[in-house]
Copies of this chain bind each other. A is one copy, B any other.
Amino acid sequence: MVDHLELDKVAPFLIKLFEIVSSPASDNLVCWSEHGESFKIVDRTKFAQDVLPFYFKHDNLRSFIRQLNIYGFQRCQNSSGRDRTMEFFHPMFTRNGMRNLKDIKRGNQSKKNDTVEDGVDEVEQPQAKRPRVDYSTFKTDVARLQKNLEEFEHDLKQHTLQVQQKLAYILSALDDTPGAVQQPPADSEQRGSSPELSAGALL
Contacts and interface: CB of A to CB of B under 8 A. Distances in A.
How many copies make up the complex? 2
Nearest to A57: B57
Interface string A41-69: 00000000000000001100000000000
Interface in A143-187: none
Nearest to A56: B57
Interface in A51-99: 57-58
A185 to B, nearest CB: 57
A26 to B, nearest CB: 22
A57 B58 CA distance: 8
2 contacts: A57-B57, A57-B58
Closest 2 CB pairs of A and B: A57-B57, A57-B58
Interface of A: 57-58
